[in-house]
Amino acid sequence: MTKITYIQHNGKSHTINVDNGLTVMEGAVQNDIPGIDADCGGSMACATCHVYVKEDWFNKVPSKTEGEDDMLDQAYEPKSNSRLSCQIVVSDELEGLIVNLPEKQV
Amino acid sequence: MIKTDALIIGAGPTGLFTAHQLKLIGLNCEIVDNLDKIGGQCIELYPDKPIYDIPAIPECTGEELTKNLIEQLKPFNIKFHLSERVDEVKKNNGHWNVKTNKGTEFNTPNVIIAGGVGSFEPRKFAPKECERFENKSILYSVKDKSIFKGKTISIFGGGDSALDWAIELSKDSKVNLIHRRDEFRGAQISVNKVNELNESGKIDLFTKYQLKSVNGTNKLENIEIMSDDKEIKKLKTDYVLGFFGLIMQLGPIAEWGLNIDKKTVAVDTEKFETNQKGIYAVGDICTYPGKLKLILSGFHEGALAARACFKLARPNEKYRFEFTTSSKTIKDRLGVKE
């Protein structure tokens, strides 16, 4: 179990324990955290699980694979610290990870 | 008013195979899809990505899967209504009256929703004031390119649509191409062409920029774009085109009186019927305990929903289960000569 904090665009914060091996997206969906749609179910095909990874964490999370930036082009208000949360697999190293959710996904 | 035994909403893999199952058991059906082509998510989201978990097909792309499903439907003459979205589903004397946004009307005892995550709609610009100019000077698709002649067009996006239109419109218009990264995901040949046109001054290229604001009183006058380092540029422009791909919206399905939870429709696992008699949901859009969002699950769900349709479409006949390997009737339907 790893502690992950999701901060909604309105500032509301949710800290939950996510099983290692799940993705940051799955952690949110399984715990009913609003703000992550994940329409394609985690196949990196839609950009509706877009999150902003806090600067000091950005270099610690597993880096992007080919295709993720292509999908992020289509996200709502992408920034330099944007990631698709379905591509971040939770592990002990991510204990305390904080992600901010965009105003909306579509 | 078109009368049919079953109407399928969605021409993705599940909708296509459901049509096959309906035709096999002797029912007719028609298919409506909001996209302009057959294949659903397979063709729109991952035409080139290999899929490895279709039974008996070790590897195939979304496009190949779609091609094979269409091939499988070839013996049957199925009418597709593409680029049409079902807007209304209303009860009428035990049947359903269905109406699309183009005005096509159906009367059917069975409606099968195979709509994935809903209908595909273009992804829009973030700044709110864009809505004011939408469909006038801010567009997400090109219907008539002659309106751009001699004008200044600002095109946003990094995929093939953005690149292709930038190249095409640069012949008769002044084109700004704006993209949030300096890498494009479109075809390399188009990227090279855009770079050439940029060097020869036919296209003004702005990479690592995004739309910040749009300005104008009655008509669009200029836009502001902002770079990653917060540098702002003002561009005079007549039209703005946004190509950010498509998103899926549940859309009108939400208004048909169905049990909807988290964009999915609750069904039973015998008929895949919703809380409305004669309306079924199959594939990614349905939910039940243990639901897996896999294409193979959609095939199973469609096969069962098709059998349930028989009862309502042929109330005075008895459905008899038959195998394709041995049934003469089914072979006749398939046009198989022995």
In CATH, what is the architecture of B2-121+247-334?
3-Layer(bba) Sandwich (3.50)
Residue % of chain B over a pLDDT of 70: 100
The predicted structure's pLDDT at residue B246: 82
Helix (H, G, I), strand (E, B) or coil at B126: coil
pLDDT in tens, A11-20: 999 999 999 9
Of A41, A47, A73, nearest to B180 by CB-CB distance is: A73
CATH of the domain at A60: 3.10.20.30
Put simply, whether A19 touches B (Cβ < 8 Å) is no
For chain A, the domain total comes to 1
- The candidate with the shortest Cα–Cα distance to B318, out of B21, B110, B109, B26, is B26
- Given this model, what pLDDT does residue B56 score? 96
CB-nearest partner of A78 from B117, B180, B263: B180
Pairing mode, if any, of strands A2-7 and A13-18?
antiparallel
Q: Look at residue A96 and tell me if it is in a domain.
A: yes
Over the stretch B151-201, which tens digit does the pLDDT of each residue have?
Answer: 999 999 999 899 999 999 999 999 999 999 989 988 899 999 999 999 999
**Contact across the interface for A106 and B123, Cβ inside 8 Å:** yes
d(CA B253, CA B29): 20
Query: How would residue B329 be classed by pLDDT, with cut points 50, 70 and 90?
Result: very high
User: Which is higher by pLDDT, A57 or B44?
Assistant: A57
d(Cα A61, Cα A2) in Å, to the nearest integer?
13
Instruction: Determine contact, residues B167/B189, Cβ cutoff 8 Å.
Output: no
pLDDT at B44: 84
Interchain contact A34–B (C-beta under 8 A):
no
Q: Which residues, 6 or more positions from B321, have their beta carbon under 8 angstroms from its beta carbon?
A: none
Looking only at the bridges linking them, the beta strands covering B60-61 and B50-51 are antiparallel
Confidence bin at B17 (pLDDT 50/70/90):
very high
- Does residue B307 register a pLDDT over 90? yes
- What is the average per-residue pLDDT within A61-83? 91
Mean pLDDT score of chain B: 94
pLDDT band at B222 (very low <50, low <70, confident <90, very high): very high
**Per-residue model confidence as pLDDT tens digits over B262-287:** 789 999 999 999 999 999 999 999 99
Q: Within a 13 Å sphere around the CA of B121, how many CA atoms are in the beta-carbon half?
A: 12
How confident is the model at residue B47, as a pLDDT?
A: 85
Tell me, yes or no, whether A29 lies in a domain.
yes
Under 8 Å between Cβ of A83 and A68: yes
* pLDDT interval class at A23 (50, 70, 90): very high
**Domain ranges within chain B, ordered by starting residue:** 2-121+247-334, 124-244
Residue A105 lies in a domain: no
> What would the 3-class secondary structure string for chain A be?
CEEEEEECCCCCEEEEEECECEEHHHHHHHCCCCCCCCCCCCCCCCCCCEEEECHHHHCCCCCCCCCHHHHHCCCCCCCCCEEEHHHCECCHHHCCEEEECCCCCC
pLDDT at B46: 79
Q: Is the pLDDT of residue B228 over 90?
A: no
- E-only strand ranges, B143-191: 152-156, 174-179
- Which chain B residue has its CA at the smallest distance from A80's CA? B228
- Is residue A106 included in any domain, yes or no? no
**E strand residue ranges, B83-201:** 86-92, 95-100, 105-108, 110-113, 119-122, 138-139, 152-156, 174-179
Whether A31 contacts chain B with CB within 8 A: no
A41 → chain B, closest CA residue: B293
Residue B251 has pLDDT above 90, yes or no: no
Would you call B183 and A43 a contact, using CB atoms and an 8 Å cutoff? no
> With 80 as the cut, is the pLDDT of residue B338 above it?
no
Contact assignment for B123 to A73 by CB distance below 8 Å: no
pLDDT for A54 equals: 86
3-state secondary structure of B250: coil
Which amino acid, residue B307?
A: R
Which band of pLDDT confidence, cut at 50, 70 and 90, is reported for residue B319?
A: very high
Q: Which CATH class is domain B124-244?
A: alpha beta
Residue A10: give the domain boundaries.
2-100
Q: With CA atoms as reference, report the closest residue to B212 among A77, A86, A26.
A: A77
Q: Are A89 and A22 in contact (CB under 8 A)?
A: yes
ipTM value of the model? Answer: 0.73
CB pairs under 8 A between A and B: 50
